[in-house]
Each structure stands twice: as C-alpha cells, then as structure tokens.
Amino acid sequence: MCTWICEKAPVVGSGKGAQGWFAINSANVAYDHPVHAPLDHAILIDFVNSTMGPSARVAVEMDPQSAMGLVRAILTALNEGALQPMLEGITEMPDLAAPALALAR
C-alpha cells in the first residue's frame, strides 16, 4: 500500500550527497514503498535542503527494526554526550519522552 505517511523534523546540520557536502534543513521521515531496499515497506529518511531542489538529498531506506535500532543509537549517543537534560526536556512530546528515555537507558 502507498501510505503517504511522512513526518518532517527541522534540522540544523550538513549532509554529504552525490555532489559533496551541503547544508540540510529538514529530515523527512516516511513509512512507504522503498526505491532500492528489498522490502515492501520501509522507513525512508531523506535529509534534504528544501531550498536547493530535489537533488539536495541524502536518502536512506531501512526496515522498521533497523529504524528502532537507529532511534536507540541516537538517544544513547545523546545521553552519553551529557545531553540528558535535553532528553528530559522533551515536554512537547510527553508520549514520546518516557519511551525515549527508557530506550536511551
């Protein structure tokens, strides 16, 4: 099925695409049909710069279990980077804060 599920997170950072490094301003996270991964559905993450055209994109496709592992790795890295206060400050996402902290621990 085509789900058209697509969540966007503003990003401050850079990505390396086919033409080298560029500034990115969004991570677009979808659950839909992948282009390359041998899966019917996948978590699709596009790190993009929406002001630079569609080719300014670093794309990854992974199965949901891998995506959970990625979430865990990000949270763990944040935690180990002494950013616990930031994690505890996810007050705007109370439903996510507890499981995120649990994952990080």
Partner 1 sequence: MVAYQGMIAENTCIHGHNGDLIEAYVARPLGVQSCPSMVVIHHAPGWDEWIKEVTRKFAYHGYAAIAPHLYSRSGPGSPDDVAAAARAAGGVPDAQYIGDATASVDYLRTLPTNNGKVGIMGFCSGGRHAYIAACRVPGIDAAVDCWGGRVVAGPEQLSERSPVAPLDMTPDMQCPIIGIFGNDDKNPSPAEVDRTEEELKKHGKTYEFHRYDGAGHGFFAVDRPGYRSEQATDGWKKVFAFLEKNLDGPAR
Kindly list the residues in this chain that would bind partner 1 in the complex (CB under 8 A).
1-4, 6, 8, 26, 28, 30, 32-35, 38-40, 44, 46, 48, 50, 53-55, 57, 59
The tokens of 103 are what? 């994952």
Kind plus residue range of the DSSP H or E element containing 101: helix 94-104
Contact between 28 and 8 (Cβ < 8 Å): yes
Smaller CB distance to partner 1: residue 55 or 76?
55
Between 14 and 50, whose beta carbon lies closer to partner 1? 50
Shortest Å distance, C-beta 103 to partner 1: 26
Q: Which is nearer to partner 1, 32 or 83 (CB)?
A: 32
For the CB of residue 78, give the shortest distance to partner 1 in the complex, in Å.
Answer: 25
Q: Is the dihedral of CA 96, 98, 103, 105 positive or negative?
A: positive
- Smallest gap from Cβ 28 to partner 1, in A, equals 5
What residues does 26 pair with on adjacent strands? 10, 48
Cβ pair 55, 17 in contact under 8 A = yes
Contact assessment for residue 39 and residue 63, using Cβ atoms and an 8 Å cutoff:
yes
- Cβ proximity to partner 1, 54 vs 85, nearer residue: 54
